[in-house]
Structure 1
Amino acid sequence: MTDAQAIARKVRECPGVAALSGGPFGTVSTYLPGDRLVGVAVREHEVEIAIVARGGRPLPALAEEIRHAVAELTGERLVDIRIDDVDLEES
């Protein structure tokens, strides 16, 4: 399992996350052999995570929950959380 796949798994386990998102043009992604993981972009000095949030939860608190969930996998890299949408039907 790659870092990106492990990070994606941890993010999906967060109760306030409805789904991962690729962003408006699918740019938040990591290319894997024969596949593309949408929603997590792992770079040398940063990790970008894009999600669809479940409604009914303060978004800043959700972003911190995600950062905490992936902290052991991201090390010293900056973790940017993008909330691209909120799924109110999931709340």
Structure 2
Amino acid sequence: MAELSGGPFGTIATYLPGGRVRGIALRDDGLDIAVTARYGTPLPEIADRIREAVGQAAGGRPVNVRIDDLQVST
């Protein structure tokens, strides 16, 4: 993964007292995570790695991963 993404129109975000966390939205029915990925690793593998990394913190909710864009090195 390269970085978190806000998704279309910045809709993937969580609002906390100290500010806004872009790319992560905690909802009643699950956790939505949007990322920009680095080119080279298969996209399903990236999504699985993210789900594994945040699985316990999701509190049993499903983790939905969106890959919004690819970052290509030049």
- Tell me which interval the TM-score lies in, with the shorter structure as reference length: over 0.9
Unpaired runs of 5+ in structure 1?
A: 1-16
Per-residue CA deviation, residues 27-47 of structure 1 (Å, 9 max, x unaligned), is 000011141110000012200
Unpaired runs of 5+ in structure 2?
A: none
Structure with greater strand percent: 2
Q: Tell me which stretches of 4 or more aligned residues in structure 1 moved more than 6 Å.
A: none
Deviation at 1:89, TM superposition (A): 1.6
Give TM-score scaled by structure 2 length: 0.93
**Aligned-CA RMSD value:** 1.3
**Corresponding residue for 2:36?**
52
Structure with greater helix percent: 1
Q: Number of paired residues?
A: 74
Distance in 2 of aligned mates of 1:41 and 1:89: 28
**Corresponding residue for 2:70?**
86
